[in-house]
Amino acid sequence: MSQAAAATNPHAEPTDPRWHLRYLLFIAGMGGLLYGIDLGIIAGALPYLEATASTSWQLTTQQLSFVVAAVLLGSVLSALFAGALSDLIGRRSVMVLSGALFTASIPIMALASGYLPLLLGRLLQGVSGGLIGVAVPLYLAEVLSPERRGRGMAMFQLLLTIGLVVAALIGLHQAHVVDVATESVRQLSPAEQQQALFAVKDRAWRMIFWSSLLPGLVFTLGGLLLHESPRWLARRGRLRQARAALQSTLPMAQVESTLQQMQEQAPSDHGVTHERDRLLSRRYLRPFLLACVILALTQATGMNSILAYVVNILNHAGLPGAVANWGDVSVKMVNALMTVVALVLVDRKGRKFLLMLGSGGIVVALLALSTLFVKAERGQVDVRPILAQQINADALTLRLDAEQWRRLGVIDTAQPQQLTVAYRYGGFSNVRSLRSDAVGDVELHIRRDAAVQPDSVIGAFFRTLHLNPFPDPASAAQAPLELERASLGAVPSPTHGWVVTICLLFFVAFFAVGPGVCVWLALSELMPTRIRSNGMSIALVINQFVSTSIAAVFLPMVGRHGYASMFIFWAGCTLAYFLVASFLLPETKGKTLEEIEAHFR
């Protein structure tokens, strides 16, 4: 039977779409889970990766920042072509591809024995996340009815936050293992302590990565059982498959009328693209730019960096070891719980109201965090003159025993102290931070070979074009050691750490209620139908570029200028977010995609 005949003579048996809808939302939610694991898994692994890789592989702070940011960079790269790829091979096929890439990245990272394999694995995870971030919301927008669209997108965000919680729980378990091992080696000599703890911490970060393999397999294999987007199928004239896809999500009485509407739109979307349908044509420019601004400002709140570095933040705020990991878990659980609240409110209160509420609350929380860290960092003492006297042949080696802490100016050695040193050789910079109560980590080593990295093909290529985005190893090989910052101060009290935790809880609560859910709706609802796939790709590229840039500079920036400076910067960006949501964003609650598009005309 021809496809034209199939359009008027359906043979499929009536089925109840409720089971198919639940399965569809489960698999789409698993995509959100993987996206959350992408963002959150590094937070628990980073302290142990920093403790072992900086010794065995001589990774610098900047390289560790690149490892964290690689997921976001991979998302930028994949988001560039995710829309075109979704149009070419289908939304469901891109979802399956993204799951396969995530699954492949796990053994690459967990078995890594150097910087490049670890970076490659994180890049693959990022590519997977970028594809998920475009394909899953696009799939849901085209499959779900208007009355289910808001909750469907909220479900994606809910599973994303659960992915963050899962990643935090995995990190907490390994932190407990490391803490137990730390207590058991206290009676050993310092050399034996270092060797034993190195083995435990090396195994900890590898196990954290291995633990995320199962969700990737579930999403990949489960995606194979989904129907393709009926709108994508109808646009290509594959009406029999489009009907089968509709029967899995709609009551039988609505299937033929919906298919007919798709057929009426399909000829205009198939074949030659008209001049008026270009991405930056006048009729599409306002909603496209508004969606891009909202996605960029969502990342400029600092949410992804806070989720990735939350354990480090809480360590510096005064919470030790596994206690900081408990703070990490509590932050991500509140994120998940408040997403459930947003799930209830998004179709009742509307997107505009929630974005205004969320961004306003974030500004207050960030200002409180910056105030707390200003007070904590105000008492730090500059010890650069003391360390400069001990530089020998452009290198510095310092054994931080009790006597050395006294020479640095510590009066009460019983109170934990923290030494932070930011230094550079030419264009290559690094930051080292050590605590007086750390077990096994008692020496500060600053050497040229640990900071200056070999030349790369990319760096050499840009220098041939007389561009210099990367430092030149040749000039750094002769550059002297410069101490940019060397500060010593008492580690804040655990009470200070818990107050910081409470502020972080308020931060993620307001983010979850506002930007966390509404950003995906802005991405899919504001984009007009004919530019939706490519427009979503470009907007997500901007989103991930901002997030990547912030994550890449986070550790060097806080090493040189302290945590308060980053929180103040994010508060300013979020204030701009509040103004955009208040004065430029239209309310889209209860409106069809066509009605939203008509508003901007």
Q: Which pair of tokens denotes residue 275?
A: 């001049």
Cα–Cα distance for residue pair 595/55, rounded to 1 Å: 59
Cα 67 to Cα 53, 174, 385, 464, 570, distances in angstroms:
12, 20, 33, 26, 22
Question: CA-based angle 299:159:168, to the nearest 5?
Answer: 75
What does CATH list as the number for 13-226+272-374+497-600? Answer: 1.20.1250.20
- Report the SS3 class of residue 2: coil
Is the CB of residue 34 less than 8 Å from the CB of residue 216?
A: yes
Cα 525 to Cα 79, 88, 268, 270, 404, distances in angstroms:
18, 22, 20, 22, 61
pTM for this prediction: 0.65
Q: Identify the CA nearest to 516 among candidates 388, 339, 347, 381.
A: 339
Report domain extents, the chain: 13-226+272-374+497-600, 386-483
Identity at 161, one-letter amino acid code: T
Please spell the DSSP secondary structure of 58-82, one letter per residue. Answer: ---HHHHHHHHHHHHHHHHHHHHHH
pLDDT at 360: 92
Cα–Cα distance for residue pair 174/129, rounded to 1 Å: 24
152 membership: H or E segment, kind and range: helix 146-184
pLDDT means per 10 residues in the chain (601 residues)?
40 54 80 78 78 70 72 75 82 89 91 84 87 82 70 74 80 82 77 80 87 87 84 75 71 68 53 47 73 84 82 80 77 83 75 86 94 82 83 80 77 73 78 70 73 56 51 76 82 85 93 81 66 71 76 73 87 92 73 60 64
Q: Identify the CA nearest to 356 among candidates 294, 314, 310.
A: 294
Backbone dihedral angles phi then psi of residue 476, each to the nearest 5 degrees: -70, -20
pLDDT at 276: 42
Is the CB of residue 125 less than 8 Å from the CB of residue 71?
A: yes
pLDDT at 265: 53
pLDDT at 528: 63
